[in-house]
Every structure is written in structure tokens, then in C-alpha cells.
Amino acid sequence: MFTGAKYLLRGLGWVARHPRQWLFGLIPAVIVLAVYAVVLGLLAFNLDTVAAWVTPFADGWSEGLRTATRVVAGLAVFGASAFVAVLTFTALTLLVGDPFYESIAVRVEDSQGGAPPEPDEPLLTQIARAVKDAALLGVIAVAFALVFFVCGFIPVIGQTVVPVLAACVSGYFLAGELASVALERRGVHRRERLGLMKRQRPLVVGFGVATFVVFLIPLGAVLAMPGAVAGATLLARERLAINPLLTEGGRDAPEYR
């Protein structure tokens, strides 16, 4: 897991040495952040109303107990929403900024010895697959958010264990989305990608959780996004892409790294 976290540091170090690529990669992240900030801001502004809406059973309770329940409910709703936002932020930013991050990934690979050739596939097919993957990730994120929302009501566990589990789950999928830029170029799509991630789960979780924590810092998701893409590219190139699944047409997998 610590090795996985080091890949994020390496990615951040790479963009620090290539400031133009960092500025280039900020553009799509800023656009998506603006949209998410408005949505989460509206939620925070109306959190009392939302908390009351999800806890109608507390209407007849004493004022103290009702207030405490709705405070917990409000925190759980906002926490679940933040979880969904962090998880889908990456997928949506990669979707919006595909040309930007593809360029960064290629430059990272060139700095390490060369990138594999671009897949011989129509652009519309690539876009359709990216939209489908983003939509599927959104469904998964909502499902997990609902589970964590319910578990958030459990005393003590809901405020300690659940946030840690949420970070691990979010980090795992974050790492997969970030590594998809490099793996898609190697012809490794969602199902195969999940298989590769499963074989290297501690490594992937380490990278993903470190990224998740950085993304929770105000503006961290925007400022660190180019570095996260660079780190995930290095992770995919050096660890995830070394797998028999990449053998194709009799050609040896290392040629595709």
C-alpha cells in the first residue's frame, strides 16, 4: 500500500518538473469543479431541509433527540454526497478532459522510454465506451453511498470505521479510473482492468487512498489531478500492465508497457 502511495508522489513530482503540462491539465478539472461546487453548495445551504426530509420518523420525538438525529442525518447525507462527488469527479473530469490527460499520459510514457501506439479504434467508439464506463461508475458510487449513509447512523462505527471503508472503496475505483488512460491505450478495457486491479489490490488501494485524501483537501482535486494522472500512468506502466492478459497476436506483453 505504501508503494502504491509513492506512485502518487512520483506523479506529482513529474508534473512539478513539467509545469506546462500541469497547467494544461488544470483546465478540465477547473470546469468540472465549478459544476460540483455549485451542486454541493446548494446541498449545504439546504441541508436542514434535506435532513428533515430523510428523517420524517423523528417528527414526534423530543426536540433534543430530533435535533441530534437530524444533525447525524445531515452529516451522513453530506458525507455520502461528498463520497459520490469525489468518486465521480475523476470519471467526469477524465471524460471532459480526455484529450488533455491522454496528452499528459503519452508525455509521461515518452519520458520513461516510449508510449504504445494509439489503438486502432474509431473515436466515437472510444467516446461511447468512456460515457458508458462513467455512467456505470456513477451507479456504483450511488450504491456504495447509500450503504455508507445507512451505516453512518451506527453509533461510533458510523463515525470511525465507515469513513475509512469509504476512503478505501473510493480510492480503489479512483485508481482504476486514473489508470484507465494508460490501460485503454494498451487495449485493456473495464473488465480486464478490474481483473488487473484485483491481482494488485493493496498496491491499487494504496495509490487510490492517497489520491482520495489529497482530493479531499480544498482545491486538492483540481491541483493534483494532472499529477494523479501521471502517477497512475506510471503505476499502469510499471505494475498493472505486466500481465498475461496483455498478450495479443503472439506478441509479448512487455512490448506494450
Task: Decide if 256 is inside a domain.
Answer: no
pLDDT value, residue 54: 81
pLDDT value, residue 179: 85
Task: Decide if 203 is inside a domain.
Answer: yes
Q: How confident is the model at residue 254 (pLDDT cuts 50, 70, 90)?
A: very low
Q: C-alpha 176: how far from its chain's center?
A: 7
- Model confidence over 64-86: pLDDT tens digits? 888 888 888 888 888 778 777 87
Percent of the chain with pLDDT over 90: 13
Task: Decide if 248 is inside a domain.
Answer: no
Is the pLDDT assigned to residue 174 strictly greater than 50? Answer: yes
pLDDT value, residue 84: 78
Residues 6+ apart with CB under 8 A from 204: 4, 172, 175, 176, 179, 197, 235, 240
Task: Decide if 257 is inside a domain.
Answer: no
Is the pLDDT assigned to residue 210 strictly greater than 60? Answer: yes
Q: What are the percentages of helix, strand and coil residues in the chain, rounded to 5?
A: 85, 0, 15
Instruction: Give the closest residue to 243 by CA, choosing from 207, 193, 206.
Output: 193
Q: Which domain holds residue 204?
A: 2-243
In this structure, are residues 216 and 148 in contact, taking their beta carbons and an 8 Å threshold? no
Instruction: Give the closest residue to 174 by CA, choosing from 79, 82, 89, 78.
Output: 89
Is the pLDDT assigned to residue 120 strictly greater than 70? Answer: no
In this structure, are residues 39 and 92 in contact, taking their beta carbons and an 8 Å threshold? no
pLDDT value, residue 119: 65
Domains held by the chain: number: 1
Q: How confident is the model at residue 255 (pLDDT cuts 50, 70, 90)?
A: very low
Is the pLDDT assigned to residue 189 strictly greater than 70? Answer: yes
Average pLDDT over residues 125-152: 73
Q: How confident is the model at residue 11 (pLDDT cuts 50, 70, 90)?
A: very high
Percent of the chain with pLDDT over 70: 86
- Model confidence over 191-207: pLDDT tens digits? 787 788 888 888 999 99
Task: Decide if 76 is inside a domain.
Answer: yes
Task: Decide if 143 is inside a domain.
Answer: yes
- Model confidence over 43-68: pLDDT tens digits? 888 888 888 888 888 777 877 888 88
Task: Decide if 251 is inside a domain.
Answer: no
- Beta-bridge mates of residue 251: 248
Task: Decide if 130 is inside a domain.
Answer: yes
